[in-house]
């Protein structure tokens, strides 16, 4: 039977970490790579039996996640975030897959995300199933600073259980994250030779709202679905506005 390492990168996640780690109790080890916490995240991870490390230099999410993968003892890896947890059905399913050596496949996990504590079933989030379980001998994370993903030569499958993703408990959290990601993404686009202007930023924001709210059926998620679509459109505006500012 193959053994599995669950790996996380974290920063100031003491409020959410315990819930996530408790859903990983079945894993053969849990590796936590801290990226600069100022709360008691590290102490909590240690108290719950995790192998805990500190990242020496921040170079973006892709490299940080791959660094965490490299710290694992076992070649089969589950990458997960502190604001996520595996539901009981998914835990049972993953235990059974481990007994079958994961059938030699990399696995996608269906993810149900929550916005302001409400599950979002539309808005374009309904088909979210990131690849999270893989054999590191056959793949790993790319080096993108933001919106990183796993690339593997393995055949892939999709689990039936759910990974619950508790994204933003407040709008302030959402806006702070969009600014952070927006700055990283704008810098990357600038380095690729991309440019923007105020009109371009505004049009992209409007298209984002229309796509999420109408084409991706966000109106079916009610008031919080509308708020998510509107706030996400602001995030697109911010990213391309920053690109314009950086490129002036």
pLDDT in tens, 230-243: 999 999 999 999 99
Q: How far is CA 227 from CA 105, 174, 223, 224, in A?
A: 38, 11, 6, 5
Residues 214-235 pLDDT 10s: 999 999 999 999 999 999 999 9
SS3 of residue 170 by DSSP: coil
Region 108-129: mean pLDDT is 97
Cα 203 from chain centroid?
27
**Please, where in the chain does CATH 3.90.550.10 lie?**
4-168
Q: Quote the percentage of the chain above a pLDDT of 90.
A: 98
- CATH: 3.40.50.1370, 3.30.1330.10, 3.90.550.10, 3.40.50.970. Which one for 4-168? 3.90.550.10
User: Does the pTM exceed 0.85?
Assistant: yes
């Amino acid at each position: 039977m193959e053994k599995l390492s669950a790996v996380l990168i974290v920063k100031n996640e003491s409020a959410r970490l315990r819930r996530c780690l408790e859903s990983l109790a079945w894993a053969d080890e849990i590796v936590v790579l801290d990226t600069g916490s100022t709360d008691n995240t590290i102490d909590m991870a240690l108290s719950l039996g995790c192998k805990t490390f500190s990242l020496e230099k921040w170079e973006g999410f892709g490299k940080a996640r791959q660094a965490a993968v490299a710290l694992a003892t076992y070649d089969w890896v589950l990458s997960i975030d502190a604001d996520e947890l595996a539901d009981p059905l998914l835990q049972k399913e993953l235990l059974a897959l481990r007994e079958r050596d994961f059938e030699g496949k990399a696995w996608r996990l269906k993810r149900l995300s929550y916005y302001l504590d409400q599950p979002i079933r539309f808005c374009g989030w309904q088909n979210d199933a990131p690849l999270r379980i893989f054999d590191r001998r056959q793949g790993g994370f790319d080096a993108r600073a933001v919106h990183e993903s796993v690339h593997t030569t393995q055949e892939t499958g999709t689990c039936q259980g759910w990974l619950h993703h508790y994204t933003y408990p407040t709008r302030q959290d959402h806006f702070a994250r969009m600014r952070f990601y927006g700055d990283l993404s704008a810098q990357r686009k600038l380095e690729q030779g991309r440019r923007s202007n105020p009109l371009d930023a505004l049009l992209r924001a409007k298209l984002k709202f229309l796509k999420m709210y109408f084409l991706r059926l966000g109106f079916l998620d009610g008031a919080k679905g509308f708020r998510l679509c509107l706030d996400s459109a602001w995030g697109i505006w911010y990213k391309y506005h920053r690109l314009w500012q950086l490129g002036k």
